[in-house]
Chains A and B, each alone.
Chain A
Amino acid sequence: MEHLSFQPPSEGLSEEQLVSQCLRGDSAAWSALVDRYKNLVSVIIRRSGTPAADAADVSQAVWIDIYTQLAQLRNPSSLRFWIATITRHKCYHWGRRESRRRVRPWDQRRALTLEDPSPPADEVLERLDRQQEIREAIHDLSPRCRELLTLLFLDDPPRPYTEVASRLHLAVGSIGFLRGTCLDRLRKTLEDRDLL
């Protein structure tokens, strides 16, 4: 019997197709866009040092900008780069606005540190872009392989293979086969995206 799996129609669309369908008012395409880039937005906000109490509002503000400015995006193939830029700008301006509102005690040590320790914007954006490409490559894997990768990499100290097998409802002897298969697929999808 043929194995059927449900896949929403907006899954697997190119960035150009996704943007085009969003601009036509397709709710499913907008949901797919949010799903594809939610972690990118979340990671940038977290790394920006935005306080946890403000992170939800910054995130909402970012998605409003993405939605309302999408029609102005000239090159849809640069969608993820554009989203990363919008998010970084939003975090920056949010931080500046909040710092103007709050009277902070004079921090001499900070004032003496005149050099900006953060890497140049282009470098950061390129790294974020590459990470998003890896994120999408992982997403292209089967749910089974994604779960395995998560179990392999998530825990510190590392989870023993017996426990990984148990979580995946596998015999311990089968874990090697699944791991080999998933890593092969990961390698293939990374190669297809010129990441390896």
Chain B
Amino acid sequence: MKRYELEDWVDYIRGLGDAERREDMARHLADGTDGAAEAVRMLEEVRDVVLEDSEGPAESLVWAAKTLADLQRGEPALPPLPLVLVGSNVPTLPLEQQRQAYSGARKLLYRSDRFELDLWLEDPQGTSESVVLGRVCSIRPENAEPEPVTDAGVFLIEEGKIAASTLTNRFGEFHLDAAPEGQIDLKIVIRDRGRIELSLPREEL
């Protein structure tokens, strides 16, 4: 009986070779005499890994995962992007009156000379979780529509630790659940550009 090499078995599992040769190889496999079945099984496992890994994670996800360590240690490599609060729907009333007068979503708009952050904070009734929605855009000159910032890393910090994280979508939007009671700390990292850091004590919202 002909002995087949590893190269031959690669072609076999790729579906190459004429019918006669493939039939002979199939018989050879069925005999199970010289470890061919083991080699084929291994090559099939290699093929499966290659196929699955060809659909690996998006590069932006890998970047965001790697960013965790620097952020957690407070050593972000990118410069800060200072933003100023330019708009809010929260009435300027004493705190008690604010709570009575306003119980819906709170909207805040921050801006720098290059970026804009639109924030929407909600405390849905009947749940202990808050919802933080936002949109990050870069400002373009001459009153052009702001351009959404895609794949910015958004990190929610709770008691000094990263509690949740997401990436902005193609519209520059993000959504985070389970914002902690008390202060909301957000860090938004815009790749190759800089980072936005915001602390939002609830009593000031």
Q: In the complex the two chains form, is A38's CB within 8 Å of B65's CB? A: yes
**Which single residue of chain B is at the shortest CB-CB distance from A131?**
B49
Q: In the complex the two chains form, is B10's CB within 8 Å of A179's CB? A: yes
Interface residues on B, range: 35 or more
Q: In the complex the two chains form, is B46's CB within 8 Å of A186's CB? A: yes
Residues in A neighbouring B62, C-beta threshold 8 A: 34-35, 38
Number of A-B residue pairs at CB separation under 8 A:
114
Q: In the complex the two chains form, is B162's CB within 8 Å of A64's CB? A: yes
**Which single residue of chain A is at the shortest CB-CB distance from B163?**
A64
Partner of B66 from A34, A57, A61, A176 at Cβ < 8 Å: A34
Q: Say if the beta carbon of A124 comes within 8 Å of chain B.
A: no
Q: In the complex the two chains form, is B57's CB within 8 Å of A38's CB? A: yes
Q: Say if the beta carbon of A167 comes within 8 Å of chain B.
A: no
> Closest Cβ of chain B: how far from A44's Cβ, in Å?
10
Q: Say if the beta carbon of B55 comes within 8 Å of chain A.
A: yes
Q: Say if the beta carbon of B70 comes within 8 Å of chain A.
A: yes
Provide the bound-state CA to CA distance between A35 and B61, in Å.
Answer: 11
> Closest Cβ of chain A: how far from B80's Cβ, in Å?
19
Provide the bound-state CA to CA distance between A14 and B78, in Å.
Answer: 30
Query: Interface readout for B57-89 with A: 1 if CB under 8 Å, 0 if not?
Result: 110011011101110110100000000000000
Interface residues on A, range: 35 or more
> Closest Cβ of chain A: how far from B153's Cβ, in Å?
8
**Which single residue of chain B is at the shortest CB-CB distance from A29?**
B69
Of residues 189 to 203 in B, which have CB atoms within 8 Å of A's CB atoms?
Answer: none
Interface residues of B, Cβ cutoff 8 Å to A: 6-7, 10, 14-16, 38-39, 42, 45-58, 61-62, 64-66, 68-70, 72-73, 75, 161-167
Give 3 closest A-B pairs by Cβ, nearest first. Answer: A30-B69, A63-B65, A42-B57
| 22 A-B contact pairs sorted by A residue (CB < 8 Å) | A22-B69, A31-B69, A34-B66, A35-B62, A38-B61, A38-B65, A39-B57, A42-B57, A43-B52, A56-B58, A59-B57, A60-B165, A63-B165, A64-B68, A64-B163, A130-B45, A135-B49, A153-B50, A154-B54, A158-B15, A196-B38, A196-B39
Supplied contacts A130-B45, A183-B10, A187-B6, 11 more A-B pairs, CB within 8 Å: A22-B69, A46-B55, A56-B58, A57-B165, A67-B72, A138-B50, A149-B50, A153-B14, A154-B54, A157-B15, A196-B42
